[in-house]
Structure 1
Amino acid sequence: IFDVLETTAPGKGGEIQLTDAMQVLAADDSIAGGVYGVIFRGRRYDTGDRLDYIKAIIQLASDRDDLGADLKPWIKEFASKLD
């Protein structure tokens, strides 16, 4: 994938998109032996988007046994002070 990424033009947002390089690999099995996938049914986080990144951190931290109990009350207090 890295060889293909080196020659991949920037896409959305001026960023090089991993999915564009994967399409190249999927179209030609001789490049890297093909592309395999899996159906993912879990939560998806777009950490390339700043707001989604923050949401992911908050959600994952609140789910943790070592952080959630302290974080959740703080989030509630913080949210209650928002306009």
Structure 2
Amino acid sequence: HDTQKPIFTICHGVQILIAVDGVVRGKKVGALAACEPEVTLAGGTYIDLSPTEAYVDGTMVSAKGWTALAAFIRECLKVLGTEIRHP
């Protein structure tokens, strides 16, 4: 977090990030709706994403759940600087 390395979180995985002081503070995060109070208490902003969306805030990629895996993986790869080419 301190060195701006990519952080990827989906569903209730944001709870692990909340346990580390400052990781969520000032970030907009998509997660399972039940995590909204925790994100807010940790100083983040909960984003109510559609079930198929992912959200990028700097080097953090987040999504609500498994139904967003396609968008989540796409955004994770972008943050990593990966380019996929199809012949």
User: By the TM > 0.5 criterion, same fold?
Assistant: no
Bigger Rg, structure 1 or 2: 1
Higher helix share: 1
For normalisation by structure 1, the TM-score amounts to 0.31
For normalisation by structure 2, the TM-score amounts to 0.30
